[in-house]
Amino acid sequence: GGPPLHADAVAQPAEPGNGNNWTAAAALAVALPPLPDLQAADITWPAGDPTDGTTIPLAAVGTNAGTGAATAAFTVRFEIDGHLLGRQTVAGGLGVGASTTVFQDWRVQAGTHTVQVKVDESNTVYESIEGNNARIENLPTVASADLVVDAIDWSPPAPTDSDDVTLTVIVRNAGPRTTSRDFAVR
């Protein structure tokens, strides 16, 4: 087979009898080599409600659903709310039907957040399908602490102009959750 052939596709006036011109078409079959298809199969995190300020591991599972092995190293990108959190490298590639799990630590922040993983973020591996390398998940909503000042006291109780004064502040968490974050009192 080959591409369509056209003989004298535009009739030339100087040629007597254009009836002998012909056109042929043939199907062209191209066999593609087996190619990998890297996918972000899952994103997980520890069970339970995370606490603001603690660090938890996020796990991304990458799979090769293609017919060929991914022989080159590739990176897995982690994002929180669309911002880069970190990258992990899968150095040995990934065989057909194989999967790998990579981890990235995240310091938990109060609020509602999304985590996105992009397998082969730089497209270094030539794949049969490039559009299925990302996955996004909603993380559990993290309730915040509510730090309030309950009392302020000072010593000595009636300072004079030259006295050193010590302030004592009582801070209480009136919120629904604890926090592991450092905070300052000004």
Cβ pair 136, 113 in contact under 8 A: no
Look at 119 and 179; give whichever has higher pLDDT. 119
Q: 37: which residues sit within 8 A by CB, 6+ positions away?
A: 64, 65, 66, 67, 127, 128, 129, 132
What is this structure's pTM?
0.71
Mean predicted confidence (pLDDT) in 125-142:
95
One-letter amino acid at 170 equals I
pLDDT of residue 32: 79
Work out the pLDDT band at 129, boundaries 50, 70, 90.
very high
- The candidate with the shortest Cα–Cα distance to 144, out of 172, 169, 179, is 179
pLDDT of residue 13: 60
Return mean pLDDT, the chain.
87
**DSSP bridge pairs for 6:** 23
Share of the chain above pLDDT 90, in %: 56
Work out the pLDDT band at 89, boundaries 50, 70, 90.
very high
Radius of gyration of the chain (CA): 33
pLDDT of residue 8: 55
20 three-class SS: helix
pLDDT of residue 2: 55
Mean predicted confidence (pLDDT) in 77-103:
97
Mean predicted confidence (pLDDT) in 83-88:
98
**DSSP bridge pairs for 151:** 170
Cβ neighbours around 108 below 10 Å, total: 22
pLDDT of residue 65: 97
Rank 87-91, 150-154, 165-169 by mean pLDDT and report only the highest: 87-91
Burial call 55-93: b when 16+ CB within 10 Å, e when fewer: eeebebbbbbbbebbbeeebebbbbbeeeebeebebeeb
